[in-house]
Amino acid sequence: MTAPTQELRPSRADGHEPAVRLDAVSKVYGRDLLALDRVSLSVDKGEFVCLLGASGCGKSTMLNLVAGLDRPTAGEIDTKGGRIAMMFQEPALFPWLTVSANIELALRVKSSTRSTTKKERRERATELLEIVHLGGFGAKRPHELSGGMRQRVALARALAQDADVLLMDEPFGALDAMTRDLLHDELERIWRERELSVLFVTHNVREAVRLGDRVVLLSSRPGTVIEEFPITLPRPRRTDSGEVAELASTITARLREEVLRHAKPAKRPVGAGAEHG
């Protein structure tokens, strides 16, 4: 089979200057629930890294640690002083506020160290809605929008923080395939224009190959990095393309191997555990 045409990672990441670095990070909950075990990982400036792994492997825990929402039990996390924004699977918009007001609220939090006027915040919210192709929807309430449109608002709210690093926890998992595909295009465009560093959690292997410069596979709990897959397919990519499907199949096979390894019961001595009446 002919190898797919390849391109180098975008030049902004060629210097391998890290935006996020995790060094031997572990996280224990309670007395003995080890969620992450000595995870070492870096995300270059301008790089798009996707995290894959079985449910419960610690992907969301890792994002929470990078975001500063929780603290590691051991190890170090360095975000180089960059601004961090996080986007979740659910938009989590305030239903009683307009779309514009939801974004303006993030702008008020961001500007707490300096004074900004209401007019400035409204103008900036309008600009951000234009960026995510929701111009003219600022006066709507969240319930008046589709699921995909609400996620666009959530993305605009994240961008309102002028982040250097965008953390995304399965942001498109609840959307239909067509809406998800359109938002992939929007996210890729904004990532390029803003030169963001993105750490993106997903269960969808094709989505990871479609979006990522690199796919990082985590083991089943406790989570640790077991393999990395550089994605050198040329952009733009399509989730239904043969090249994406082929690479996704390879990664899926490795993920399946890990899931089965974890699910396989430990061998027991002959006769152990048998009960006799």
> Domain segments of the chain: what residues?
13-82+169-245+252-258, 92-163
Residue 145's Cβ-side half-sphere holds a number of Cα atoms within 13 Å equal to 25
DSSP label of 130: H
pLDDT score for 4 = 38
pLDDT score for 216 = 97
pLDDT score for 111 = 53
pLDDT score for 8 = 35
Q: What is the pTM for the complete model shown?
A: 0.85
Task: Match 């393999």 to its residue by tokens.
Answer: 227
pLDDT score for 106 = 87
- How wide is the angle at C-alpha 85 spanned by C-alphas 50 and 247, nearest 5°? 10
Alpha carbon 21 to its chain's center: 15
Q: What is the DSSP string of 161-207?
A: T--SEEEEESTTTTS-HHHHHHHHHHHHHHHHHHT-EEEEE-S-HHH
The span from the CA of 62 to the CA of 20, in Å, is 12
pLDDT score for 273 = 45
State the pairing for strand pair 18-29/33-44.
Answer: antiparallel
Per-residue pLDDT tens listing for the chain (277 residues): 333 333 334 434 445 789 999 999 999 998 889 999 999 999 999 999 999 988 888 899 999 999 999 999 999 999 998 899 999 888 989 999 999 999 999 888 765 555 678 888 999 999 999 999 999 999 999 999 999 999 999 999 999 988 899 999 999 988 888 889 999 999 999 999 999 999 999 999 999 999 999 999 999 888 899 999 999 999 999 999 999 999 999 999 999 988 887 766 555 444 444 444 3
Name the burial class of residue 108, with classes exposed (0-12), middle (13-18) and buried (19+) by CB atoms within 10 angstroms of its CB.
middle
- For 13-82+169-245+252-258, CATH gives 3.40.50.300
